[in-house]
Amino acid sequence: MKIAFNTYMSSSVSMKADKKNNGYRQPIGALLKPFETNKEAMVQPLKLMKGINPNSSDVFDSFTRIDDVTRKINFTKEPEAWITCLFEELEEFVIARDEYNQDKSQANKEHMEEEMGDIFYTAASIAKDSGIDPQEAFKATNRKFFNRINLMERFCLTSKSQPDNLADCTNEERRALWNAAKYKLYSVQAKRFALEN
């Protein structure tokens, strides 16, 4: 496999020499040179990724458009394979985080960030395969944490046995407050679901 890959890398430019020049043909080495000094360097797209900005602040839009391209070229996984992939990405992140904890270099930090990004991307792909909008799923989790922590704070103020501030609670007290807020919200939501159905 390595020999075939090296053969491809050395001959890929000459293999296309007889094709119409579209203005993008450059030696692979020249295309990769910016990556030596710029972590946000990009290989200029030909057709498939044209018009997509992976550095956009709207990361979910970028993800959706890039993921659509991967599906267009059949670069996708079966549902079970995505789960395996997610566990692999988690393992790679743990290794990268351990390396960063041992040596807090910029290179190790960027490697750790990249592995975390792989986890996000894989999870978002699993969501899409399951018919879930990743952005809506993230919004739902944001609301969940927002509402539970607000309830926890109110429980603290109304309880004589708890400190007034969440930050002053013990870990056990915080866990009990979290579970109480979770139970209260689930009870109310269950009523809403019953009314809707």
Model confidence at 109, pLDDT cuts 50, 70, 90, reads very high
pTM for the whole thing?
0.71
pLDDT of residue 97: 97
- Which of 3-12, 45-54, 111-120, 166-175 has the weakest average pLDDT? 3-12
CA distance 66 to 68: 5
Per-residue pLDDT at 134 exceeds 80: yes
Q: What angle, 0 to 180 degrees and rounded to 10, lies between the N-to-C axes of helices 106-129 and 79-102?
A: 160
129-145 mean pLDDT: 91
Mean pLDDT of the chain: 81
Of the chain, the percentage scoring pLDDT greater than 90 comes to: 29
How far, in Å, CA of 13 to CA of 147, rounded? 56
pLDDT of 196 reads 65
Q: What pLDDT score was predicted for residue 73? A: 83
Integer CA distances (angstroms), 16 to 19, 20, 24, 72, in order: 5, 8, 12, 23
Task: Kindly list the structural domains of the chain, giving each domain's residue range(s) and its CATH number in brackets, ordered by start.
Answer: 59-132 (1.10.287), 135-196 (no CATH)
Indicate the pLDDT class of residue 23, thresholds 50, 70 and 90. Answer: low
Q: What is the model's pLDDT at position 5?
A: 42
